[in-house]
Structure formats: structure tokens, C-alpha cells
């Protein structure tokens, strides 16, 4: 398993990161047994995958607890990433320590601000009007993160879902930031326009989240109607697909997406690989990607995903996939916030 150092740090991360959102079980992803989590985490380490991504908000902290249990006795083999909600950034140290307590660890390898600090982002995490109207500043948040790094509670500082202007604000604080975690896959290509070039210029690694677009690019849904509402509430789909969970109010691009998926299945079949492997290999072909975050609920899924990391797509196949997915990019545009209306982005 190839590993790449995170930003300017000396922390090597595998080109595949295990997404731990389902760990601990919850409404969004459903039940997840600790036994399956243990198996996936141990097998991932054995196969050379060392990066694990969680957050304080995932299943109300149960994701962190579950990951911590699974890594017991093997902590030194893992790169553990967690994230703090923007509403909690007045008390970064407190929330970091609470995450560490849930994980049963004494340090994090990378600690990220989960979303940028702005009113629209903050109000998704709290109903406290005083925090929504007067959120902490970027300078406050990153000064506290820098102190945690000096204390040894975290090894690296990151951000998640930050646009170019927001990254510039962080860089201006003078704090070393090593990674930006952003949605990136065949049908979510918004970061290519401005975010990826900025990250390359400033030696900020990109870990791509939603590598398989929450199962869509694993080919498990034959029609849009098959997709669970929680996985269909993004701008990729018409507003009604979310069953009341959507808030973007747009028409989506599901026709173009499913046409693309049909073509991707044909390509995968011609290469004798799984469609999920094609999707992962395409991501890792991009020179601006350090790692892709992929969920693996069981050993079978994990092995399929790991095998994809050793594939090298021919340039012609990469270009063909770019062409096939261009109609989706044309509709969804270069706004990487896939959950709000295009004119009402939390990311800029």
C-alpha cells in the first residue's frame, strides 16, 4: 500500500483512508456491529491501510468510541484523524480531550475543523443563537489548534470542506495546515477548478471524502428510487429524493449520473474489475490526491477497495471517464457544497 506524507508533516498516510462514520451505528447508516468494525480495522492494518477518519459528531461520538475499541493494542500502527464541529471552536482543547477520551488515546495524528466557520455552517451544529450570531473566528480556532500541537495532543492540523478563500484565511494565520478533506469522486468534481490548484501550490494534502458517493459508485443502486433518502439528499438528486432530508431545492443530475454509471459498468467489465475499483483507481490517478476516503462495512468490501489501490488506469481510460462525467460536472458546477442551494454555499 503506497503511503504519502500529509502536507508538510512527516506523517505517512495510505492512499486509502477508512471512513469511520458508520462505526458505532446510527440513524444515517444503520446498525454496525463492533465485531465487524474490529474485523475491518484489523484487516485494513494488515493490508497496509493505516488511515482512519472519524469526527466528534459521527453518531454522537459513538464512531470515535468504536474506532478506539478496534484499535486497542494497535494504536501505533494507525493514523487517526478526527474533526471538531465549527460551533465548538471557542473550546477546542476541551473538545479535543473529549474526543481522545472516547477514543481511549493520548494524541490524534490529525485534528481538523469539520466545516468552515460561518453562520450557515455553524447553525447545522447548534441551536445556540449566541454562537450562531457570533461564532469564533478562524484566528481563534487555529491558534488553539496550534497550542494543542505544541502540547503534543495532536501531531498535525487540518481542515475539512474549506474553499479557496477560506483556505487563504487559514494560511494567513501562519499556522501550518497539512490537509483539507473534501468531497471528490467521478460525479463530485468541484474541487478541480480552484481548490486542488491552491492545495498543490501551498503543499496542503487533499484527502477525498465520499470516494464512492455513499455507495452510488459501487454500483449497488440500479435506479434513483433504490437509493435510501439519507444518501439521496445531495444536489446530485432532485430535492424530493431526500424524503424531507434535502434542503438544496434543486433538480439534480440523476439522469446524467445514471447514464454515466452505465458507461462506467461497461468500462469496468472490459477491464475485468469491479465498478467500485474503477471509481477508486480514477481518483488515485489524479496527481492532487493524497488519499481517498472509502467506507468498508465488511471484509469483502474492504478487499475490493484495497485491491483498487494497486491499479493504474491507462491515460485513455481516465480521459474517457472525465468525458463521461462532464455532463454531471456541467450541471452541478464548481461549488463543492453539495447539500445547500448553489447560491447558498457554506464553502467559498
C-alpha cell at 342: 448553489
What is the predicted pLDDT for the residue at 25?
82
Q: Is 223 exposed, middle or buried (0-12, 13-18, 19+ CB in 10 A)?
A: exposed
Element (H, E) at 137: none
How far is the C-alpha of 6 from the C-alpha of 204, rounded, in Å?
Answer: 8
Q: Which CATH class is domain 3-332?
A: alpha beta
Q: Supply the pTM of this predicted model.
A: 0.95
φ, ψ of residue 209 in degrees (nearest 5): -90, 165
Q: What is the pLDDT of residue 32?
A: 82
pLDDT at res. 50? 98
Low-confidence ranges of the chain (pLDDT < 70): none
pLDDT of residue 28: 78
Q: What is the pLDDT of residue 329?
A: 98
**pLDDT (tens digit, 9 = 90+) per residue, 185-195?**
999 999 999 99
- Predicted confidence (pLDDT) per residue in 310-341, tens digit: 999 999 999 999 999 999 999 999 999 999 99
Listed by start position, the domains of the chain span: 3-332
Amino acid at each position: 500500500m503506497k503511503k504519502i506524507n500529509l502536507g508538510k508533516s512527516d506523517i505517512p498516510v495510505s492512499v486509502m483512508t477508512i471512513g469511520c462514520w458508520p462505526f458505532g451505528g446510527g440513524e444515517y447508516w444503520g446498525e454496525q456491529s463492533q465485531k465487524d468494525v474490529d474485523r475491518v480495522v484489523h484487516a485494513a492494518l494488515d493490508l497496509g491501510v493505516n488511515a482512519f477518519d472519524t469526527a466528534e459528531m459521527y453518531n454522537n461520538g459513538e464512531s470515535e468510541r468504536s474506532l478506539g475499541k478496534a484499535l486497542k493494542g494497535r494504536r501505533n500502527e494507525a493514523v487517526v484523524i478526527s474533526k471538531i464541529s465549527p460551533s465548538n471552536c471557542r473550546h477546542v482543547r476541551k473538545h479535543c480531550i473529549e474526543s481522545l477520551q472516547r477514543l481511549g488515546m493520548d494524541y490524534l495524528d490529525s485534528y481538523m475543523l469539520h466545516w468552515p466557520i460561518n453562520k450557515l455552517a455553524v447553525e447545522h451544529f447548534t441551536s445556540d443563537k449566541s454562537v450562531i450570531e457570533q461564532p469564533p473566528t478562524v484566528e481563534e480556532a487555529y491558534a488553539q489548534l496550534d497550542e494543542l500541537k505544541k502540547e503534543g495532543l495532536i501531531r498535525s492540523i487540518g481542515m475539512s470542506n474549506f474553499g479557496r478563500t477560506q483556505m487563504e484565511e487559514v494560511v494567513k494565520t501562519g499556522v501550518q495546515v497539512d490537509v483539507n478533506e473534501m468531497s471528490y469522486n467521478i460525479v463530485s468534481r468541484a474541487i478541480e477548478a480552484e481548490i486542488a490548484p491552491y492545495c498543490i501550490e501551498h503543499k496542503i494534502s487533499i484527502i477525498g471524502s465520499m470516494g464512492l458517493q455513499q455507495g452510488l459508485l459501487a454500483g449497488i443502486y440500479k435506479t434513483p428510487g433504490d437509493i435510501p433518502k439519507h444518501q439521496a439528499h445531495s444536489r446530485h438528486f432532485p430535492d424530493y429524493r431526500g424524503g424531507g432530508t434535502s434542503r438544496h431545492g434543486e433538480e439534480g443530475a440523476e439522469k446524467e449520473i445514471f447514464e454515466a454509471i452505465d458507461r462506467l459498468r461497461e468500462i469496468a467489465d472490459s477491464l475485468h474489475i469491479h465498478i467500485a475499483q474503477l471509481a477508486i483507481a480514477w481518483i488515485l490517478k489524479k496527481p492532487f490526491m493524497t488519499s481517498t476516503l472509502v467506507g468498508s462495512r465488511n471484509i469483502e468490501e474492504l478487499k475490493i477497495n484495497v485491491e483498487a489501490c494497486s491499479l493504474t488506469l491507462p491515460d485513455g481510460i481516465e480521459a474517457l471517464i472525465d468525458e463521461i462525467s462532464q455532463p454531471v460536472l456541467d450541471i452541478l458546477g464548481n461549488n463543492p457544497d453539495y447539500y445547500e442551494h448553489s447560491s447558498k454555499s457554506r464553502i467559498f
